[in-house]
Amino acid sequence: MPSEFNPADTAPHSFDLSFDAHDEVINPKPADCDFDGVVEGALSRRGFLNGVLTFGGISMLAGMDVGLASGQAQAASSRFQFDAVAANTLDTITVPASFQWQVLVRWGDPLWSDGKEFDRDSLTAATQMRGFGDNNDGMDLFADGNRQILVANNEYTNRRIMYGNRLSQAPETVDDVHKGKAAHGISVMEVRQRGNTWSVVQDSPYNRRITADSDMEITGPAAGHDLLKTAADPSGTRSLGTWSNCGNGRTPWGTYLACEENFNSYFSSSDPQFIIPDALKRYSIAHNDWGYGWASFDERFDISRHPNEPNRAGYVVEIDPLDANSVPKKRTALGRIKHENAEVVVNSDGRVIVYMGDDEPGEFLYKYISDGVYVEGGETGHLLSSGTLYAARFDEDGSGRWLALTPETTGMKDRGEIAVHTRLAGSKVGATTMDRPEWVATNPAKAELYCALTKNKKRGIEPNKGGDAMPVGGPNPRQANKYGQIVRWRPQGGDHSADRFDWDLFVLAGNPEVHSDARAGSKNINAGNMFNAPDGITFDDNGLLWIRTDGKYSNKMDFAGQGNNQMLVGDPITGEIRRFMVGPNECEISGLCWSGDRKTMFVGIQHPGEKGGSHFPDGGNSVPRSAIIAVRRNDGGRIG
């Protein structure tokens, strides 16, 4: 097993793998473990499901109730207003018969009338700059009067698809690299509904592309810190670009938060002898990038020449969606991690709370509390610039504690260092290593948060990148966890600023058709709604949780009967889960948001055909393209 991923070590297209597939390559699957022993170990930790049930033996874990009143999982009066969709492997979107869908925008569609219709083989950096970016993930919709502005992250590019016009299927020229950088970042576009059809308003003054080369302002405790100073920016306050934007958030003052996730995969070293500092290794910075080639034509991505440059990525970026000339702000106060999303809550005392997951095996769950308070119509610039970060510790008895990350608790020099080396700070306070925390969602009906823990095949096998143990237990109860789970917690007294919380599990995903042990999943999982790898989660206004998956779509063995990636809806009151949508081949279902009237749901379809098995959305022999689709009820009613 190579200690650092080297594209040359693997098959020709290995650098075109998804993050998970990369993880498989870098960290091969452990040999089959003694699963019964693991389950016994989990059971022996009494109360790990918050005392909801007393377990009598291994057989009780399969089909267990998690956080639910027994028997409620199949409640007679469902709140779901649709019939379940069956799992399938069709190369299209499947929604209930009472719904319809259309494509709103695809990778490369021009946002301005001087752009060119998409043609993969002749796509250039210039044409990509005028079109929708690639691999859309998190998104949200904003209103300016009666105009609606959609903002979407363009997380990464599938190199084999983007450079399919090259024999190497890799970037070869400076324009190839610039094209890739231009496909990253964020797309802002006005959208409009005519009849039942939505479209992008070309040439709207709101339309904007933010890319890996756009001007950014660095704010917060790391701004101007020595760790952020580079040859190009000795002030440490301005940086170029945002990339690997995965999930998102929105503030009550109307700004969009784009969250930088796998930022490491774009850096490389021209000097093979360069000794990578431990602080960079913690973020999986390596000698080789994942095949993007950015350092070939932009030396700031060469860590042997500019070792501080990776410290300028991995942040939450705040963007004003209504001002196409505004400078995005990197909010270092929210920490430098592989950010998934940023779930913003205004506490009862007015302080701004942001919950955030760090998506890598054994990384932590975080909370930020602002120093200042939010006043509607008041100044907001400081609210995400000055505050305290916390990392979560989950205890076996169903309680938990937020651990402050300060110079006193971590022994680190100052808050700037904590903002940059946030993972190291989390390790120092003994936060709980989690099964890859993805999106966090807040229940609109009560002070209760949910986080998708997508999976973690290293659970109980090896430590995280910082050497912190990853024992089986607590909210991470299964060794070599390949299905994932959703944990939820309630702040003590309903106060989001409280140090203490109680937690339980909403669902353990699994496959009850294949397994009869813990891998079958919790009792609210059955043959008709099973899935793997929950990722995006978002509540609607009715308090239902929309769950998107980014998991295995082999439909075989452990994943037999689960079909393509999908979107399901969960009821936090009854525990019922029902499948709403199945995506096309090899996609994940990514971002989710609603129109102002809640009658249209916009859904992200990311990386269809990432392994060559899809022609979504245009069919025939076309190049597969990530897209945003608009979903409506046939009767025009509200959705969520």
What is the closest distance, in whole angstroms, from the C-beta atom of residue 292 to ligand FEO in the complex? 15
CA distance 465 to 26: 12
Among Ca ion, ligand FEO, none, the one that 343 touches (CB under a kind-dependent 5 to 8 A) is none
**Residue 607 or 632: which CB sits closer to Ca ion?**
607
**Residue 289 or 359: which CB sits closer to ligand FEO?**
359
The interface region with Ca ion, picked from 81-89, 232-240, 411-419, 587-595 by CB under 5 A, is 587-595
**Residue 576 or 586: which CB sits closer to Ca ion?**
586
What is the closest distance, in whole angstroms, from the C-beta atom of residue 157 to ligand FEO in the complex? 13
The interface region with Ca ion, picked from 25-33, 328-336, 546-554, 620-628 by CB under 5 A, is 546-554
| Residue 468 interacts with Ca ion (CB under 5 A): yes or no | no
What is the closest distance, in whole angstroms, from the C-beta atom of residue 535 to ligand FEO in the complex? 6
DSSP-derived 3-state class of residue 182: helix
DSSP-derived 3-state class of residue 143: strand
What is the closest distance, in whole angstroms, from the C-beta atom of residue 587 to Ca ion in the complex? 10
Alpha-helical regions (H) of 136-267: 159-162, 174-183
**Residue 19 or 394: which CB sits closer to Ca ion?**
19
**Long-range pairs for 366-370: beta carbons < 8 A, 24 or more residues apart:** 366/334, 366/335, 366/337, 366/390, 366/391, 366/392, 366/422, 366/426, 367/391, 367/392, 367/402, 367/496, 368/333, 368/334, 368/335, 369/496, 369/497
The interface region with Ca ion, picked from 25-33, 425-433, 511-519, 585-593 by CB under 5 A, is 585-593
Q: Binding string, 481-520, against Ca ion, x = CB under 5 A?
A: ----------------------------------------
What is the closest distance, in whole angstroms, from the C-beta atom of residue 551 to ligand FEO in the complex? 11
Among Ca ion, ligand FEO, none, the one that 261 touches (CB under a kind-dependent 5 to 8 A) is ligand FEO
Among Ca ion, ligand FEO, none, the one that 389 touches (CB under a kind-dependent 5 to 8 A) is none
**Residue 309 or 359: which CB sits closer to ligand FEO?**
359
Provide the edge-to-edge strand list for the sheet that holds 600-606. Answer: 99-106, 627-633, 600-606, 588-594
| Residue 561 and residue 511 in contact, taking contact as beta carbons nearer than 8 Å | yes
What is the closest distance, in whole angstroms, from the C-beta atom of residue 5 to ligand FEO in the complex? 17
**Residue 5 or 243: which CB sits closer to ligand FEO?**
243
Q: What amino acid occupies position 384?
A: L
| Residue 435 interacts with Ca ion (CB under 5 A): yes or no | no
Per-residue b or e along 114-151, where b marks 16 or more CB atoms closer than 10 Å to that residue's CB = ebeebebeebebebbbbbbbbbbbbbbbbeeeebbbbb
Other residues' Cβ atoms within 10 Å of the Cβ of residue 59: 12
What is the closest distance, in whole angstroms, from the C-beta atom of residue 359 to ligand FEO in the complex? 3
DSSP-derived 3-state class of residue 424: helix
Binding site for ligand FEO (CB under 6 A): 137, 155, 246, 261, 340, 359, 438, 535
Backbone angles phi, psi at 171, to 5 degrees: -65, 135
| Residue 23 interacts with Ca ion (CB under 5 A): yes or no | no
Among ligand FEO, Ca ion, none, the one that 610 touches (CB under a kind-dependent 5 to 8 A) is none
Q: Which two tokens stand for residue 449?
A: 């948060």
CA distances from 503 to 238, 398, 415, 443 (A): 40, 5, 29, 14
Scan residues 518-537 and list those touching Ca ion (CB under 5 A). Answer: 535
Per-residue b or e along 95-110, where b marks 16 or more CB atoms closer than 10 Å to that residue's CB = bbeebebebbbbbbbb
**Residue 515 or 611: which CB sits closer to ligand FEO?**
611
Helix (H), strand (E) counts: the chain: 11, 28
**Residue 155 or 176: which CB sits closer to ligand FEO?**
155
Residue linked to tokens 């998690």: 66
Q: Which two tokens stand for residue 324?
A: 């196409």
What is the closest distance, in whole angstroms, from the C-beta atom of residue 438 to Ca ion in the complex? 5
**Residue 198 or 450: which CB sits closer to ligand FEO?**
450
Q: Which of 16, 91, 550, 571 binds Ca ion (CB under 5 A)?
A: 550
What is the closest distance, in whole angstroms, from the C-beta atom of residue 435 to ligand FEO in the complex? 12
DSSP 8-state code for residue 73? G
What is the closest distance, in whole angstroms, from the C-beta atom of residue 137 to Ca ion in the complex? 6
CA distance 628 to 69: 37
DSSP 8-state code for residue 569? E
Applying CB under 5 A, the residues found at the interface with Ca ion are 535, 550, 588
